[in-house]
Amino acid sequence: MPYPASMEESKREVEETRSRRLEKGLPDRIPEEERDALVAKFHPDYKKEQFRELRIGPNKGDPAPLEIADLLEGNSRIDPDKIDLDKIDYDVDVLVIGCGGAGGAATLLAEENGASVLISSKLRLGDANTIGAQAGTQACDRSNDSPAIHYLDIMGGGHYVNVPELAEALAKDSPDAIRWLELLGVNWDKEPDNSYHELSGGGASRRRMHSCRDYTGLEEMRVIRDEIRQRSWRGRKIDWLEFEPAIELLMDDKGQVAGAILINLETKQMTIVRAKAVVIATGGMGRTHIQGFPTTNHYGATADGLVLAYRAGCPLVHMDTMQYHPTGAAFPPQILGFLVTEKVRTLGAEIVNCDGEQFVHPLEARDTEASAEVRECKERGKGVPTPTGEVGLWLDSPMIDIKRGEGTIRRELPAMVRQFGRFNIDITKEPILVYPTLHYQNGGIVIKVDASTPIPGLFAAGECEGGVHGRNRLIGNSTLDLFVFGRRAGRAAAKWAKEVKLGKLTLDHVLKWQREIKEAGLEEMPVSPMLLPNYANQERPVPGFQPLGQVSPYTPFGDRAVRWI
């Protein structure tokens, strides 16, 4: 599906302005005061009507997106009075809920530290946002870099509201995380002298982005998944259940987390798992489609871990801030919202409007970049409309080969070339139409530096935890987070499992929660966790999913398409 005729005139403007832009150079960085005002006016996090205060739970009174608030205050999927907790199906040291990069790393480190581990995977083993991570993983291992410099970048990117100890741990552990992954088999991009091939990124003051072309997360998940399988097949104490997510945590009569109830997605049969420690590694919330935005996230990203932890009494942090990646695909509609990696801009692509004009430096921090794009479309009217009613801006990818030499795009971005090539769009010669897309959950479960939570026996790692990135995450720090706090969670959970003495299993926390729901008049809230999004046979499957009134050959849903501005 090449670009339609209605978009060709704007595309020609982009082509005709390349030489002028090359001569002029990139726009200046936005000054701090102007940057803050821009974000406050245009970033979706500042649309107060899209948030409400939580009415029950440990974060009562705190704001959260409407979609997440409803899930956090939802009723349980189980009737505690009908669950027989004497019939235990699995009895293990550590239960890991979720198996992306964080869950996989936690599993491996828990097993190495003597624990028996069971993984609860909602989909297949390794199906997670991790495999969609493209650009790379940050680590401060160059001679002109240091943990202190990396730390300052993390804090600055997060608007200095990060938990300092967590940001420090992320920076300090980063070189070892890269070496650990390489020992497991990750094929990092290398220079001819065998040093790491590293690029910069938005908000980073040094080149520290370690990559595997533009499918870094897929490569990282490949070795994690292989290592889990190999250890299990060699008789080590790792097992997993696929298509069997957790729907409720178990507690004991001492107030400790003591396992979980799982549900088989096909048979609907419940499984009781007793565990001395539980690691939540359930990832993000993109499939809740906050404010109607499309998302980069996989189908299992429905905030389940937040719901489970919150219902058990665990506080959350920074739940009023999400990351909208500046470059989600706006055309073709079959891949609406799919990630167009920041690496495209790192290599030299420029963001331009319908007239081919640059309006923002391509490597501003993500919240700034996304806000500038929203302003360009909504206030200045400089976006490019599509046949399905979307609007976007051009990411001029051919500038990469112009600046770095022919062949750079195909060498550095093979996944991007294939993704758009399926629709007869050649990104080596044509720009990409993009717009911000819901990408990452900045906040989440409160943790300490060992990934433990305030609830005894409960640990969290990866995107589901909060405090590491403050109010905005920098490129490459999400995959780093997986392996820093995933490994820390695994070690700490195994240590806890060796020392803890579990009491009698109970679901009293669920009964208490149901009483609170009733007292607050919240009986009409949805049942949660959501588990999977429902797009089928609904008039409006997600907020913002509106009928266009006519069938379009460019619309994958017949006569409907997502509109998000």
Give the active site residues. Answer: 325, 345
The kind and range of the H/E element at 179 are helix 164-184
In the numeric block, which tokens belong to residue 327?
Answer: 């470059």
Using alpha carbons, list the distances in angstroms from residue 199 to 166, 208, 307, 322: 24, 6, 37, 25
Residue 217 corresponds to which amino acid? G
DSSP H helical segments within 386-452, as ranges? 399-404, 408-412, 414-421
Distance between CA atoms of 101 and 225, rounded to whole angstroms?
Answer: 9
What are residue 51's DSSP bridge partners? Answer: 65
29 CB-contact burial (10 Å; exposed 0-12 / middle 13-18 / buried 19+): middle
Distance between CA atoms of 19 and 3, rounded to whole angstroms?
Answer: 23
9 CB-contact burial (10 Å; exposed 0-12 / middle 13-18 / buried 19+): exposed
Distance between CA atoms of 411 and 121, rounded to whole angstroms?
Answer: 34
Burial 529-549, CB ≥16 within 10 A → b, else e: bbbbbeeeeeeebbbbbeebe
Distance between CA atoms of 300 and 295, rounded to whole angstroms?
Answer: 12
Distance between CA atoms of 46 and 213, rounded to whole angstroms?
Answer: 35
Residues 476 and 138 sit within 8 Å (Cβ to Cβ) = yes
Helix, strand or coil for residue 294?
Answer: coil
What are residue 235's DSSP bridge partners? Answer: none
Distance between CA atoms of 77 and 311, rounded to whole angstroms?
Answer: 12
Fill in the DSSP letter of residue 250: E
Distance between CA atoms of 441 and 293, rounded to whole angstroms?
Answer: 13
Burial 192-219, CB ≥16 within 10 A → b, else e: eeeebbbbbbbbbebbbbbbbbbbbbbb
Distance between CA atoms of 547 and 538, rounded to whole angstroms?
Answer: 11
**Nearest to residue 216, comparing CAs of 229, 203, 197, 230?**
197
Q: How far apart are the first and last CA of the chain?
A: 24
Distance between CA atoms of 360 and 363, rounded to whole angstroms?
Answer: 8
Distance between CA atoms of 278 and 100, rounded to whole angstroms?
Answer: 15
